[in-house]
Structure 1
Amino acid sequence: MKVYNKLVRDKIPEIIEADGKTCKTRILSNEEYIAALEVKLNEEVAEYQQDKNLEEMADILEVLQAICVARGYSLEELEVMRAKKASERGGFVEKIFLESVE
């Protein structure tokens, strides 16, 4: 038996069982869910930093969207906030690296 104790995507138990194995799962409370999502976000960011590929970027986005909804925001609200900040402060398109301020 291998112990994971981590949040997984919704279809993972089905995939495990289709492989002829059994798994034990439980449904998290809202508080546990948000905490597990935040741990998952750190895990996915670390995987992206190691592999730097599109799949890991997609995983980060999936977790961020889930955190947004779990905290009571809509994805539309998230996009509005992103666009507002981009409008007011800019994005990262111009590759500006601030070295110092006097």
Structure 2
Amino acid sequence: MVTREYNHSFPASLKQTIDYAYDEWQAKPVGFLSYGCGSIGLHTVDQLRTVFTALHAVTVRGFVGVDPAGRRADAAGRGPAARGPGGAPIRLLNVEGR
């Protein structure tokens, strides 16, 4: 799921799209890539986890966050992080730890 942060949440159009495909989300894994200034979209991901839990989808623990202003932050929204985002997509997709 790729989304931006909008007023510390997700856009209404995204929620409408998720609800439209309600049955298709059952037992599907969901990963997140979010972007937002300062918080790297952390608020959006937290709220979307709740939405997908109600849909009985399985959310991946990690997520990839991007700050369009170029500042780097860690997964808790604190920045700058010691590591850059280079390996984050690979770590997100490597759910089995291989």
User: TM-score by structure 1 length?
Assistant: 0.32
Query: Greater strand percent: which structure?
Result: 2
TM-score, normalised via structure 2 length: 0.33
